Amino acid sequence: MSPLPLITAQTEEKLLAFLTEHGHTKFRAQQVLDWVWRKRVTTFDAMSNLPPALKNLLAEHFRFHTPEIVEIHGSADTTRKFLTKMEDGSLVESVIIPAAVAENGEKSERVTLCVSSQVGCAFGCKFCASGLLGLKRHLTTGEIIGQILSAETIAEKRVNNIVFMGMGEPLSNFDNLADALEIITSHRGLEIGARHITISTSGFVPGLKKLAAYPRQIRLAVSLHGATDEVRDQIMPVNKKWPLSQLIPVLEEWSRGRNQMPTLEYILIRDINDSPKDASHLVRIAKRLHAKVNLIPYNTVEGLPWKRPSEERCRSFRDAVHKARIPVTMRYEKGHDINAACGQLRLRKEQEKNGSTPR
Binding residues for ligand SF4 (CB under 6 A): 121, 123-125, 128, 130-131, 167-169, 202, 223, 342
Residues in the chain: 359
Helices (H), the chain: 12-21, 26-33, 52-61, 141-155, 174-185, 205-213, 229-235, 238-241, 244-255, 276-289, 311-323, 344-354
Quote the least distance from Cβ 244 to ligand SF4, whole Å.
Answer: 16
Amino acid occupying residue 338: I
Q: Which is nearer to ligand SF4, 11 or 201 (CB)?
A: 201
Beta-carbon contacts of residue 349 (< 8 Å; ≥ 6 apart): 71, 83, 91
Q: 135: which DSSP letter?
A: E
Q: Which is nearer to ligand SF4, 11 or 117 (CB)?
A: 117
Instruction: Report which of 211, 219, 192 is spatially closest to residue 292, judged by C-alpha positions.
Output: 219
Quote the least distance from Cβ 130 to ligand SF4, whole Å.
Answer: 4
Q: Which is nearer to ligand SF4, 121 or 286 (CB)?
A: 121
Quote the least distance from Cβ 18 to ligand SF4, whole Å.
Answer: 34
CB 160 within 8 A of CB 111: yes
Catalytic positions are 93, 342
Quote the least distance from Cβ 120 to ligand SF4, whole Å.
Answer: 8
Q: Which is nearer to ligand SF4, 82 or 123 (CB)?
A: 123
Instruction: Give the 3-state secondary structure of residue 95.
Output: strand
CA dihedral sign of residues 192, 257, 232, 285: negative
